[in-house]
A and B are shown apart, each in its own frame.
Chain A
Amino acid sequence: MAGLLLSPTEKVFIVHGVQDDHRSDGRTNIDYRPMELETNVVSHATGSSRLRLANTDILVGVKTEIDVPTPEKPDLGKIEFYVDCSANAAPQFEGRGGEQLAIGIAKLMQAAYHSSDAFDLKQLCIFEGKQCWKIYVDILILECGGNLCDAVSMAVKAALFNTKLPSVKAALMDGGNIDLQLSDDPYDAKSLDIGTAPLLVTLCKIGDKCVVDPSAEEESCSVISVVVGVTGNPSSYSTEENVSDSAKESKFTTIEMVGSGSVAPKTLKDAMNQGMVAAKLLDKALGEALLRERQETQVKTKKHSYGFLR
């Protein structure tokens, strides 16, 4: 992504490593680097999260607004993704340098969340045809160490998990306008249903094989990556058991190829299968981490936010 310069022989070393299923840091082709997660890090946002994957650092803030639904879809709310590549991550991003990369990722996220199997916009409806919630998911990329898409999608899901919409106490009809009264009580709020929210998995084609979680060096050895969006399993995100089987099933919500190369149909199929397996593992691990954090928060009465201080 960022213009990393490698010598031809370094590339040979990386390509052979992938062929051998033994990468430069000892990972196999299906291993992710260690991740670290924290939610509720930005107090000005309704929900937020920070995810660090090796040295890729993503901060997500969710903001909500009341909006009017579109006439074609009166019962649906709105969700919008905005990505900003901070110049802190790389000097090339200064000014509008990171814009193309940012728009690419935002589009991928929008596509992945488009399906109702992935994220049900009905839960954002307040008054059919009149008022709905609009969710802004603002993604800030603070450091790039490869594999942005996967990291972004996980951070977004964590931030949405952390988001609570205030309850509507009363609504006053005044002519055609509706005046809403929202609850001030921070505990009188409902969580979003994000169990099925999709995760993106990047399969980076290096040589003839695909790897997950490419490092920045590996990304520069590859001419084409396949990004798949796969719905999550709600039972990993709640302790309740009443989840329908159809929701548990993982589905592809988006498939996109990024890069200038091309792939054989068989490689694409293999990549998709590999992506599905990886997405299930990621989703399960993310759910476990989020529930573990929630439990920790409940044990300690006041949550200590680590943020960037430690």
Chain B
Amino acid sequence: MTSHVKIRLASERVNHSVPTNRELPRFYTPGEVVTGMEDFMRGHGTYASDDCLKASVAGVMQKVNKLICVRPLKNRYVGEIGDVVVGRVLEVQQRRWKVETNSRLDSVLQLSSVNLPGGELRRRSAEDEQMMRKHLQEGDLISAEVQSVFSDGSLSLHTRSLKYGKLSQGILMKVFPSLIKRRKNHFHNLPCGISVIIGNNGYIWISPPEQNNLVEEEKDEIVNVEVQCISRSDRETMARVRNCIAALVASKMLLDDTSIMFAYEESLKYDNVKELLDPEAMLDVAFLTQHRINNVLEE
């Protein structure tokens, strides 16, 4: 049993960087010339000046055909259609909700973009409009998909699928969006028995299994499940996953179901979940995870 209070000195600080066996890419910094203008298209993180393309952020150059972008280490979430996001309802407005998604502008969830109780596709009546707060109120968390991007860059979301909708009990974690690995699927039921939603916007939702998406069920049952106690073992597993993600983030490692699961397995040598709050343990878990990822990549 570790002690309840632990104070380390600044001189004993742990350096969280984990060595990778890859070469560092070429970095560009603001104002640096990336390339001449000929035949190239200006993408994110670049601007045109004096007949050349210059970087406007510090990061790595990416080239897709003729489009040139510079991707920074971290920034606010830039949404793309089809992305899975986790967001928090900020405001209930006329026929829409304002949702916070770690973007630079608040996102919008239209009343017409949600599945209302009953599930069938039907016109939204005035009654529905008055019931909006019953459906989603300020503070509620939702998972959703990016439906479209408005001209000013703000996102329009939809939850018109069984997997999306209001989230019940669980833990929300916020990380940089650039740490999220783009995958086909962002909903995972981990082998350890809990589910995670790894939102493209950097918000990660950890919940006990089959607790999501209650919108479709009967109203009475929803209330029940929402206040139901979660078993001690589920709670422990959730806390362990949370701390593993925190360890990976501290070492700035990419997050997907594989890396989280590797970290989870490596963390099992620490019996007590709270030991994983210790910087040394965090680094150890991240290091072992990186090692396993390297092995997989080599195979």
Contacts and interface: CB of A to CB of B under 8 A. Distances in A.
Contact of A9 (B90, B226, B240): B226
Contacts of B172: 10
Contacts of A9: 141, 167-170, 226
Contacts of B6: 32, 34-35, 285
A23 to B, nearest CB: 7
A263 B227 CA distance: 23
Contact of B169 (A12, A35, A306): A12
A91 B229 CA distance: 36
B153 to A, nearest CB: 21
A273 interface: no
Contacts of B88: 5, 7
Contact of A26 (B168, B170, B226, B274): B274
Q: Which of A17, A33, A286, A296 has the most CB of B within 10 A?
A: A17
Interface stretch (B76-84, B181-189, B191-199, B276-284): B276-284
B13 A32 contact: no
Given A25-B274, A26-B239, A27-B277, A8 B139 contact: yes
Interface stretch (A189-197, A226-234, A287-295): A287-295
A81 B277 CA distance: 32
A30 interface: yes
A16 B9 contact: no
Contacts of A307: 10
A26 B277 contact: yes
A107 interface: no
A269 interface: no
B13 A310 contact: yes
B139 A32 contact: no
B243 interface: yes
Interface string B112-130: 0000000000000000000
A7 B167 contact: yes
A284 B227 CA distance: 40
A50 B3 CA distance: 22
B5 A285 contact: yes
Contacts of B230: 13, 16
A282 B13 contact: no
A26 B13 CA distance: 22
A297 to B, nearest CB: 10
Query: Interface majority SS on B: helix, strand, loop or mixed?
Result: mixed
A298 to B, nearest CB: 13
Nearest to B207: A13
Given A8-B226, A22-B232, A296 B11 contact: yes
A86 to B, nearest CB: 20
B242 interface: yes
A20 B169 contact: no
B4 A37 contact: no
B243 A25 contact: yes
A180 interface: no
Contacts, number: 123
A1 interface: no
Interface string A15-43: 01100101111111011111111100000
A5 B171 contact: no
B11 A34 contact: no
A306 B167 contact: no
B7 interface: yes
Contact of B4 (A6, A281, A286): A281
Given A16-B229, A34-B278, A23 B7 contact: no
Contact of B232 (A20, A24, A288): A20
Contacts of A30: 4
Contacts of B11: 38, 293, 296, 304, 306
A17 B9 contact: no
A8 B141 CA distance: 10
A286 B167 CA distance: 41
A22 B10 CA distance: 29
Contacts of B292: none
B13 A286 contact: no
B235 interface: yes
A276 to B, nearest CB: 14
A70 B61 CA distance: 67
B243 A26 contact: yes
B26 interface: no
A51 to B, nearest CB: 8
A304 B232 CA distance: 46
A281 B171 CA distance: 29
Q: Which of B6, B11, B141, B240 has the most CB of A within 10 A?
A: B11
Nearest to A277: B4
30 contacts: A7-B88, A9-B167, A10-B169, A10-B171, A10-B172, A13-B169, A13-B171, A20-B232, A22-B232, A24-B242, A25-B239, A25-B277, A26-B274, A27-B274, A28-B274, A32-B5, A35-B5, A36-B7, A37-B8, A37-B9, A38-B11, A278-B5, A281-B4, A284-B5, A285-B7, A286-B7, A292-B9, A296-B9, A304-B11, A306-B10
Which 4 pairs across A and B sit closest by C-beta, in order of nearness?
Answer: A26-B273, A38-B10, A26-B239, A26-B274
Interface of B: 3-11, 13, 88, 90, 138-141, 167-172, 226-227, 229-230, 232, 235-236, 238-240, 242-243, 246, 272-274, 276-279
Interface of A: 5-10, 12-13, 16-17, 20, 22-28, 30-38, 50, 278, 281-282, 284-286, 288-289, 292-293, 296, 304, 306-307, 310
